[in-house]
Amino acid sequence: MRILSVASAMPQYSYSQQEIFQELCNHWQGQLEHPEVLERLHQRVGVEHRHLAYPLEEYRQIQTWGQANDRWIRAGLELGDRAISTALERAGRKTADISALLTVSVTGIAAPSLDAKLTNRMGLPLDMRRTPIFGLGCVAGAAGIAQAADYVQAYPDRIAVLLSVELCSLTWQRKDISVANMIASGLFADGAAAVVVAGDSVPGTGPEILGHRSSFYANSEHLMGWDISEEGFQIVLSPEVPEIVQQNLPRDVDGFLAEHNLRRRDIGSWIMHTGGPKILDAGAEALGLTREDFAPSWECLRRAGNMSSASVLLVLEDFLYNIHPPAGSYSVLGAMGPGFCAELLLLRW
């Protein structure tokens, strides 16, 4: 099993953190007793720029969940098309080569699902296996690669494509001035990414997928996710999340690596989801690593924000096309998300 290519697709609208802060501050004018709290939260999340699916001023017109979701479908199809097309081009493949398409998102819904709409839009194979996945949140980028790997392990002469589409700006709750929502409004962003995964009988180059592991932490579902109401998706984000990371990640990583007769010191690089400063710091501390070990994740967070499931795929793209780990070296790709849960993959370059 091998990752042949990765490609991100970013919306055309890009804003500085200060521009987004000012827009939200203007919107909440009169509701915020202490606007400096919002500014401080936005400054501390480690984000400098974010892409948004629509111009900032258009968000003022969105009054209902239905209006937001219609925009999610429209922008999601355009970004999904671009991400898949670019990933296939980088892999030297065509749409006819796709045997399975897995689509993950937690920021909008569609029936028929995005993969069905993309099949018509892009002329994808009509006998392609389609698997839309909703609700895994930030962990879905890693979990989606794992599911694609399972598919091509069963069918080693086939190719699977994972598509992540996350338009977090369309979930903003513009009446909610809770600390959790203010943090989310400064952290989350929009984008899409696609990954081409091939079985062992398919020619091509890229990191091998040696294995993966899922971990679910019982009775922790209150830590992260959505409360869904007539207003749409309202963020659930507990301050306990970094503690859960510190308590569980070392055990999960060590157990996973032991299955492959490896230890942490054998890992040459770490491809981690850009959850935010507290999550990245908690993960590094728990594993006995430094900020420098997670530098590519910090950089992706700085330039693009947290794009939920797409974020770890952006970090992976950076490794494939810019960092180029040494041949034969190992990487751990990891993400955590609602449940609370974690997904780890072992790659060899």
**Residue 196: alpha-carbon gap to chain centroid:** 16
Catalytic residues: 138
Contact between 96 and 125 (Cβ < 8 Å): yes
- 231 φ/ψ angles, rounded to the nearest 5 degrees: -80, -15
DSSP code string of 190-237: EEEEEEEEE-TTS---S-EEEEEEEEE-TT-TTSEEEEEETTEEEEEE
| Amino acid (1-letter code) at residue 184 | A
Q: Are strands 190-198 and 159-167 parallel, antiparallel or unpaired?
A: antiparallel
The secondary element (H helix, E strand) that includes residue 15 is strand 13-16
Among residues 114, 94, 96, 95, the alpha carbon closest in space to that of 104 is found at 114
Residue 264 CB-density burial (10 A; 0-12 exposed, 13-18 middle, 19+ buried): middle
Closest CA to 213 of 259, 247, 248, 282: 259
Q: Is 343 exposed, middle or buried (0-12, 13-18, 19+ CB in 10 A)?
A: buried
